[in-house]
Structure 1
Amino acid sequence: MTELFGAGGIAGGGALRIAGRDLPRDELAGWAASVAAEIAGAEAVAVHATASAETVAAVVGGLLAGVPVVPLPPDSGPAERAHILGDSGARLLLGAAGAHEPADGDPPFLPVDGLPRSGGGTAEAGAGDGTAMILYTSGTTGAPKGVLISRDAIAAGLDALAAAWAWTPDDVLVHGLPLFHVHGLVLGVLGPLRVGSPLVHTGRPRPEAYAAARAEHGGSLYFGVPTVWSRTAADEDAARALRGARLLVSGSAPLPVPVFERLAALTGHRPVERYGMTETLITVSARADGERRPGHVGTPLPGVETRLVAEDGSAVPADGETPGELHLRAPMLFRGYLGRPEATAAAFAEGGWFRTGDIATIGPDGWHRIVGRASTDLIKSGGYRIGAGEVENALLAHPAVREAAVVGTPHDDLGEQVTAYVVADGADERQLIDFVAGRLSAHKRPRTVHLVASLPRNAMGKVVKTRLGDGAH
């Protein structure tokens, strides 16, 4: 049976540094073994997932024990927190004593920092179809759903990415992403543990911290979300400091084309973009040794099948122009939604195809471009189907525009109109509408532009489009 942490086990790789604290692999192995001994036999355990060594030890301990781990966002509100803890059936809540504030209804709390770091026995439960993690969706269309991720899915996903990105023990991974999502936790912590590479987690994903990690630790592989890369591109010194890195990877949301181009100019690296969801892990990516196209997320990873489907269920041609809903079959797919058989069944089409809910185009050469979510990013206006991302990139090409989000809003004649929310300095509505009309087809221009102070974003930097009309931000 394949070990989730690779042939060398937890201790067989480079050291970890989490938010300024060194965590040698042998110490992590002993600490995680102590956690595993404490939680053995539990139905599930939640982890107060701060950016800390305690979070890493707790998660790895759960995996050693074969107990499903439920990462709990440390900034979750009372209702979200109660829902995740109750819905998951977590019997314990693990975390650092100093960072935990108990709430009514919490399961018993286990302070990980109080456990010995020389626990006996580090035998691993091996990979398999047992549930490794229960990750909760963002809940934009109702209460968050628990996504059941197996050990096999994690192993398959990480191995595919290691091959695509030429990720080896010689790399030093650097990122500062939250440790309660796929990007920061599965890719960003379990990835280096499986590959055997060192990890430098910067606590927060600040450009100056990324630059310092290059100088101090020889950072070679960097993970970031578009907000991180946008801020890095705006900090010329920090961006230029990354010239000696090997690979910059962007994910969790589309990277605006202007950010891609500026980052490439300053760092000398054309970023690798990739596509994934909580339910699928990462399934499509550009390659370390291949082309990187602005606005595209690459081609399917080995073992991954994709197709596009129209609203009537018919096939959409792979012509690079016609959008359709992206369906997937892959070894990284989730096992279902916890306690929701009807939602699980509805998420799959005949033949085991997972309905992503994302709208995409696929070119004749297999390159994928994500247009956006079917619910918010496919705008049907006057008989046209318009991808919000294309309009957003056109707006971001204007030198005065710093951020842009585009949605469809009701229109008596057109059904929906293109409406933009823009953070800009020194540009007015008419100028921005005309600017887009000069770059795209006339029917794609925004009919309304709202100039706002900021856009609402979640913890991963994604714009929460359902909150765009709530007022000024």
Structure 2
Amino acid sequence: MTGGSTDGSAHGPTDRPALRFGDRSLTYPELSAAADSLARRLTGHGRVAVWATPELETAVAVVAALRAGVAAVPLNPKSGEKELGHILTDSAPALVLSAPGDELPSALRDLTRVDVGIDLGADGATGGPLPDTHASDEDPALVVYTSGTTGPPKGAVIPRRAIAATLDALADAWQWTGADVLVHGLPLFHVHGLVLGILGPLRRGGSVRHLGRFTTEGVTRELTDGATMLFGVPTMYHRIAETLPDDPALAKALSRARLLVSGSAALPVHDHERITTVTGQRVVERYGMTETLMNTSVRADGEARAGTVGVPLPGVELRLVEEDGSPIASYDGETVGEIQVRGPNLFTGYLNRPDATAAAFTADGWFRTGDMAVRDPDGYVRIVGRKATDLIKSGGYKIGAGEIENALLEHPGVREAAVTGEPDADLGERIVAWVVPADPQSPPGLAELADHVARRLAPHKRPRVVHHLDALPRNDMGKIMKRALSRG
């Protein structure tokens, strides 16, 4: 998937690995041979499911599907039977691709299984040309299922065009080249780990080293051994920030990286600052979602301002709108609006859900993200939360939960924090803080935390209720599941 190709073909350098998972790796010619061998078996099959374990076989399977011109449906190996059953019924894949020896759940047993082989000495591994698939830029490359927070997961149909547009825009923003070596430990059933983390390096002709499972030791090892970029989610960077003071090898490894990127949720300002203080490095944040791939990013040649997700990527249009849909023209850093985007990075629709697809777009073609943000005078975007769970209307003010969470995390007695709103007869909604204390035996009280927030932000943004928890509920990507908090 280099040099403008959108089929995952591997026409990169031959003298170093394209992919490395642990002690297993494939060079570009080896990846091409393995993917082509599998692609011949996939051509004409329509959609194919991929049992997306963090293994070399998952990457080969997705590259092969792209080369065959069929859409891949990545499956989360941790999905429950009900969710998995819904995805399979909805997407109706012809085959399921998995690593040999993987034990598949009963929901998959009626599908024809194809083991992904990477034994390059096997018969047919390099034999014969690929059939001409006539795949176009608008043809589906992936069907990625959303988290299903408001109902059964929906399958976002991501065209080849969107993958190419996003990866090329990130190459511009991050000065990403074939010389870069990426390290990450993200799951491969979503766009962050799979599209950015696997297809991204391949499109540039670079290398990716997957940790299998994220550890700070793995990050230290790979960045010390020549890796130039690290992709992670906030929980990973939080672990890094916690480890850094007592781990000089990790600090040195991070200090030599060209780019540290965080995404999938907001990285608390407190963790930004702790990492920068020890390493001298700023973590770059970007903003995207399944349906849009990537929308904005802090640029490698721009200011890595903590708490922002940068500016719109090349080719992406972004606007903020009021509740009535009218655009917000002011870049004042205060006026909160919903983010809407349009551009070549967008999906084509939800599989089998024309109603949901129509509802997701405005009449003039903008996608409604449901994310709330403000824009600074120089155009930088600061996300304050989700419209459904993070926008709190209290006392006549529109308040974003994110800035209150950042303020709470600056309190020495707070290890983790989430903020929600709940009905209040006087205020409309009152601000509720859910706090994991640094010392469970001596948690900070409501008055102390309310005063702390009021001094940093404004009195109307202080929490009115505080709940102490042992841990915050999180999904596989480390995002806090606020609906679980609201249910108590």
Please classify the TM superposition score into its range, dividing by the shorter chain length.
over 0.9
Residue 5 of structure 2 is matched in structure 1 by: 3
Alignment of 1:294-443 (within 5 A): 294-316=306-328, 317-424=330-437, 425=439, 426-430=442-446, 431-443=448-460
Distance in 2 between the 1:145 and 1:6 partners?
A: 25
2:55 aligned residue (52, 67, 75): 52
The TM-score, its normalising length taken from structure 1, stands at: 0.95
CA contact under 8 A between 1:274 and 1:282: conserved in structure 2? yes
Residue 476 of structure 2 is matched in structure 1 by: 459
- AA at the equivalent of 1:432: L
Residue identity over aligned pairs, in percent, reads 55
SS of alignment partner, residue 147 of structure 1 = strand
Residue 195 of structure 1 is matched in structure 2 by: 204
Residue 128 of structure 1 is matched in structure 2 by: 137
Distance in 2 between the 1:190 and 1:77 partners?
A: 27
Residue 170 of structure 1 is matched in structure 2 by: 179
Moved more, 166-175 or 3-12: 3-12
1:223 is aligned to 2:227: no
Distance in 1 between the 2:254 and 2:325 partners?
A: 46
1:40 is aligned to 2:52: no
- AA at the equivalent of 1:294: A
- AA at the equivalent of 2:321: V
Distance 1:6 1:32, change over 3 A: closer
Distance 1:276 1:149, change over 3 A: same
2:126 aligned residue (115, 119, 128): 119
Cα displacement (A) at 1:437: 1.9
SS of alignment partner, residue 379 of structure 1 = strand
1:22 is aligned to 2:37: no
Moved more, 462-471 or 127-136: 462-471
For residues 436-459 of structure 1, the C-alpha deviation after alignment (integer angstroms, 9 at most, x for no partner) is 122121111111111101011111
Distance 1:23 1:461, change over 3 A: same
Distance 1:122 1:241, change over 3 A: farther
Moved more, 236-245 or 253-262: 236-245
Cα displacement (A) at 1:129: 0.8
1:89 is aligned to 2:92: yes
Distance 1:228 1:132, change over 3 A: same
Distance in 2 between the 1:43 and 1:227 partners?
A: 37
Instruction: In structure 2, list runs of 5 or more residues that go unmatched.
Output: none
SS of alignment partner, residue 457 of structure 1 = coil
CA contact under 8 A between 2:8 and 2:64: conserved in structure 1? no
Distance in 2 between the 1:142 and 1:195 partners?
A: 37
CA contact under 8 A between 1:220 and 1:247: conserved in structure 2? yes
CA contact under 8 A between 1:147 and 1:278: conserved in structure 2? yes
CA contact under 8 A between 1:13 and 1:198: conserved in structure 2? no
Cα displacement (A) at 1:418: 0.5
Distance in 2 between the 1:464 and 1:72 partners?
A: 20
Cα displacement (A) at 1:135: 0.5
Distance in 2 between the 1:95 and 1:261 partners?
A: 41
Distance 1:379 1:99, change over 3 A: same
- AA at the equivalent of 1:339: N
- AA at the equivalent of 1:324: G
2:464 aligned residue (447, 450, 458): 447
For residues 110-131 of structure 1, the C-alpha deviation after alignment (integer angstroms, 9 at most, x for no partner) is 1113875623346885661100
RMSD: 1.9
Distance in 2 between the 1:3 and 1:114 partners?
A: 22
Distance 1:14 1:345, change over 3 A: farther
CA contact under 8 A between 1:171 and 1:219: conserved in structure 2? yes
Cα displacement (A) at 1:402: 1.3
CA contact under 8 A between 2:331 and 2:375: conserved in structure 1? yes
The TM-score, its normalising length taken from structure 2, stands at: 0.93
Aligned length: 470
CA contact under 8 A between 2:375 and 2:382: conserved in structure 1? yes
